[in-house]
A and B are shown apart, each in its own frame.
Chain A
Amino acid sequence: MEYFIELFFSGLTRGSIYALIALGYTMVYGIIGLINFAHGEIYMIGAFTAYVIATVLGIYGFPVLAIIVLAGLAAAIWSSAYGYTIEKVAYKPIRHAPRLSPLISAIGMSIFLQNYVLLAQTSDFLAFPELIPDFEFMEPIAHIVGTTDMVIIVSTIVIMLLLTLFIKKSRTGKAMRATAQDRTMAKLIGINVDQVISVTFIIGSALAALGGLLIASHIGQINFYIGFIAGIKAFTAAVLGGIGSIPGAVLGGFILGLTESFATGYVSSDYEDVFAFSLLVLILIFKPSGLLGKAEVQKV
């Protein structure tokens, strides 16, 4: 039973990370209908930025709390900046091109960013410092669920709630929903669509960066290739929950995380990624609209 609970929590932790990255996919897809293939790379860049900044601050002798806050902030700021720039450079000029063009551009961007980090930093695995200290009150249950796991799960849920609130209530959130429904109409009633798209990329990227920071301190190592696998899995989560739906992305993330955790725990750890990919293939074949998504009706 204890093993089951342990797997359950480790699944939730994984799921939270997938959910954080999946939110970015889902938001971008909802607004411009593009699978932002480079989104996983944003997350990877977030992790690397956090790594660099945290190490520098550590060497200069900053206190732990300051390091956590500053590294997190830096990761979010730079990832958002990258997300914003990618949209401007690689997607905006071909927004009206046939559907596959932006996707190919996104794949190119993803390859470019991976190799940029490979060349700018290193191809080796880097040991990521453990940023989150162990809380004392967690001591009794620490053998089942660690502090880091708890922080990850709780912050994901909080972020999702805040994001939902933001999109439901705020002016920008409303503009985003309007743009998602009908871009031309949104433009006609005076919404600055370009700005809305930029904001979407910025928010999505910041969330991915947080995900990057959290998972890096959870797993303890990073390299330039982590974005690819995480990106595909987060995309799976987004599709599973119903692409375009924010609660769907989180639900999808949790389901995927739990599936993986139990499958590796009870079946075999060799095929961890195979489970995720198989899940992706199965959903797309049997329920492409996902759990909480709306089915598309083809207009003739």
Chain B
Amino acid sequence: MINDNAQNNKDIKLITEITRSLKVSLWFVFLTFPLLVIKVDALEKTVEYRWQNMLYVAIGTFLVSLLSKFFLDQNTKRKERAALVTEPQIGFLERIFNEPKYLYPIAFAACLFALIFPLIFSPYQTNIMTTALMYVVLGLGLNIVVGMAGLLDLGFVAFYAVGAYSYALLNTHFDLGFWIVLPIGAILAALFGIILGFPVLRLRGDYLAIVTLGFGEIIRLVLENWNEFSQGPSGISNIDRPGLFGMELTLNQSINYMFYIMIGLVLFTIFFVNRLQNSRLGRAWIALREDEIACQAMGIDKTKTKLTAFALGATWAGMVGVIFAAKTTFINPASFTFLESAIILAIVVIGGMGSIVGVIVGAFVLILLPEYLRALSDYRMLAFGAIMVMVMIYRPQGIISNVRKHIQYDPEEKTAKKSVDTTQAGKS
């Protein structure tokens, strides 16, 4: 009897779920009708009805609605279960990446693989990998600003542009080499970060986001219109590739060279960001993200601390900008649109705000997947947008959530060691 009842309840629940999903599906059919089904040609005066799209939408939304309900249920159940256990729950991926026992061999293997990569794969593949590595560094740079300091910067690409144009201009006008401009570009970008950041960093989070977006667009528009300075939309070409002790490199050699430069920069960035995270400054960022007023009352200079994060992020964008200009030998303002900022932000958000491994994984997934699944590349931005929304709803901590290490103090031994605990970052 009781079993029957439970079975009945289950059936009823399933039926209501199906009717609900049918309604959702019907609603989306209505919603997408004018844009997805009708296609007009005003010149030829023809109307095309793409009924097959309606079918796709109907089936697609029905399934998504059913699955998302199921997923949400699972989520709540898991949360309820987690609430019963006092010990913090650490996910499988987080455990792997935070246990030195696993992390070090993985990192070592990755490094080894990276070193021999150009020897195994074609220059074409190496080139793509270099691009992905550039986004890893851009992501890690933005991660300092967004993930660690909790400042949503939507104009990050502006600093990337500053770096790229510094090299392009200094190289074409003054014939300065790559290795000289690399630090110059980084410093210029940092200066820009400070100049832009100083007036706006006292703004509230969402306003800050919009102002940085505005700044990013201003810089792009200036580059586009100030022809005497930047040669406008046609851009700057014939930028020198980096030299290796004055040796002339063939195209393939210089592709490999670029790749190794990027590997070096990635390693340096990981080292740097990791150290920063566990420092006096890193702690101040976390505290500032949680409570600005309390932070100031503890004597932390809000503006200076935020500005440091902003300038550090910009520094990395500037360096990658210089590398970008050297790699492509041609730049124009079209490479520095808001979309680029959005992609870098997507890497950080989807990978896992504040988590170094997360950002690296995020960059590889978001940059390499569309490269290799060419069929998907049209749908790339569509998917980015959708995934950003879904990540915020279902997994705000990203693919790999940030597991912050707390200081564990042992008063007897007077030693402090870092230990793992599940404190999610990105809760700015």
Contact = CB atoms under 8 A, between A and B. Distances in A.
Interface of A: 34-35, 45, 48-49, 51-53, 55-56, 58-59, 74, 78, 81-82, 85, 89-90, 93-94, 97-105, 107-117, 119-121, 126-127, 129, 228, 232, 235, 239, 270-271, 273-274, 277-278, 280-281, 284-285, 288, 298, 300
A105 B379 CA distance: 18
Contacts of B393: 90, 93-94, 105
Contact of B152 (A45, A100, A112, A300): A100
A120 B210 CA distance: 29
A107 B217 contact: no
Given A104-B349, A119-B379, A235-B210, A52 B34 contact: yes
Contact of B38 (A52, A99, A100, A126): A52
Contact of B389 (A48, A89, A99): A89
Contacts of B236: none
Contacts of A109: 385, 389
Interface of B: 27-28, 30-32, 34-36, 38-40, 42, 45-47, 53, 150, 152, 154, 199-200, 203-207, 209-211, 213-215, 217-218, 221-222, 225, 293, 338-339, 342, 345-346, 349, 378-379, 381-382, 384-389, 391-393, 396, 427-428
Given A48-B35, A103-B152, A104-B345, A55 B42 contact: yes
B216 to A, nearest CB: 9
B392 A94 contact: yes
A81 B388 contact: no
B392 A102 contact: yes
A82 B31 contact: yes
Interface secondary structure of B, over-half rule: helix
A55 B40 CA distance: 7
Contact of B217 (A59, A113, A273): A273
A50 to B, nearest CB: 9
Contacts of A107: 154, 342, 345, 388
Given A45-B35, A113-B385, A120-B53, 7 more contacts: A51-B40, A56-B38, A56-B40, A99-B428, A104-B392, A111-B385, A277-B217
B286 to A, nearest CB: 14
B428 A111 contact: no
A12 B222 CA distance: 26
B35 A284 contact: no
A53 B388 contact: no
Contacts of A78: 31, 34
A45 B205 CA distance: 28
